[in-house]
Amino acid sequence: MYKNIIQRTVIFASIAVVCLIWLSSFTVHAAVLPEDRADVMYHSYDGGGVTIDGPSVLVRKSFLDKFSVSTNYYADNISGASIDVELLASEYKEERTEYSLGMEFLNNKTLMGLGYTNSTENDYVADTFYGSISQDFFGDLSNVSISYSYGSDEISKTDDDAFGTEEATHLKYIISLTQILSKNWLMNVTLQTDVDEGFLNNPYRKYSYIAGTDALGIIRDFSPEIYPETRTSDAAAIRFKYFLPYRAALGFEYRKYSDSWEIDAWNFDINYTHPWGEYLVFDVHYRWYSQSKAEFYSDLFTSKDVQNFMARDKELSTFKDTTIGVGVTFEYEPQSWGFVEKVSVSLLYDRLSIEYDDFLDARESVIAKTAGGGEESQYSIDADVVRFFFSMWY
């Protein structure tokens, strides 16, 4: 149940995009087709009792000076036991595979795109279709882009035929404005709305409630979570990039999020890119994230079925996280490698720390029997995220 079990800590689906932004963070593009290139990535995540790693391969090629096609293969090998699994299930291993196909069309200063992604694991199948349009204005100083995606998921439960198959749909609307403010300043404003409907919770996860008392205090018991079947969320982000005289760049981001489950969140990110000599580029970034809990979340409910919706998913709790990351990229433009125009090798590392305010380590009361329910210590996660890239332009 990849999409829900590791909902927040698995961040690799967006890593390729983030890294490409990093590697090109000191270049401003007008409306042009993406460059012909091939990227190979290996990623690794280790934290919270879970290990995830796997490869990704992306190939992009343009033709007729108006079209660009791309294809991507992405895999995650997942093993271990998160805190939820330790409480309610046994250690597991599974694999998620993802295939994507996209095409872009350039007409004067307008860039249009279409794409499809299929993601499969043993109990979850997700199909996503997306489209986008981007237009330059005012002498290429302004760019407006609009994108839309539709996702359809089928959810099952391993070794439980009685569960059957549930469905969920996901709509995403994004509008983005990029503006060159001066020769040194670049600004981007992005607005996003998501609409989710259907089965939105994890069929394996359970909420916790008071089932009585013993010598240690409150006894925890568990029952399957119950979620609303709709969720609407809105997010707004503003980003600045400042290009320094010595080819380096500073970046800033502030993002605000809220949804119909009464979660409010915000994050701030600052990053610095510094070229060194002819071939090396160094990156460092810091990110702070904070959110409030969902209205139907509780670490420990007073009784079973005390309200219509009940959840104990730690990603719906109140928590803060920080990420500190560093990266180095080696770029080289060979003169006699035939069709190869440029190659680069990148190594990126992030240290992620999450502190949960109202999600307690129930293993202390349920497994170790060292505390009563509601008296356990606050849970936290420290994780290491590593990505290795090889890219080739042709």
Q: What is the CATH number of the domain that holds 139?
A: 2.40.160
- Please tell me the pTM assigned to this model: 0.86
Assign residue 24 a region (left: φ > 0; alpha: ψ between -120 and 50; beta: otherwise). alpha
- pLDDT at position 153 is 97
Assign residue 187 a region (left: φ > 0; alpha: ψ between -120 and 50; beta: otherwise). beta
The string of pLDDT tens digits covering residues 337-354 is: 889 999 999 999 999 999
Task: Tell me what the mean pLDDT of segment 294-312 comes to.
Answer: 97
Exposure pattern of 230-250 as b/e (b: 16+ CB <10 Å)?
A: ebebebebebebebeeeebbb
Cα–Cα dist 10/50, whole Å: 10
Helices (H), the chain: 2-5, 15-23, 83-88, 363-366
Residue 187's domain comprises 2-393
Burial of 208 (0-12, 13-18, 19+ CB in 10 A): buried
Task: Band the pLDDT of 12: cuts 50, 70, 90.
Answer: very low
Task: Tell me what the mean pLDDT of segment 387-393 comes to.
Answer: 96
Cα–Cα dist 77/20, whole Å: 23
Residue 170's SS3 state is strand
Least confident of 148-152, 162-166, 389-393: 162-166
Task: Band the pLDDT of 25: cuts 50, 70, 90.
Answer: very low
183 forms beta bridges with none
pLDDT at 16 > cutoff 70: no
Residue 25's SS3 state is coil
Number of domains in the chain: 1
The one-letter code for the residue type at 236 is A
Helix (H) or strand (E) segment spanning residue 217: strand 217-224
Burial of 228 (0-12, 13-18, 19+ CB in 10 A): middle
**Torsion 57-125-321-379 (CA) sign:** negative
The string of pLDDT tens digits covering residues 311-330 is: 999 999 999 999 999 999 99
User: What are the start-end ranges of the E strands in 5-109?
Assistant: 37-47, 50-63, 67-80, 92-107
Cα–Cα dist 288/318, whole Å: 14
Task: Band the pLDDT of 30: cuts 50, 70, 90.
Answer: low
Assign residue 247 a region (left: φ > 0; alpha: ψ between -120 and 50; beta: otherwise). left
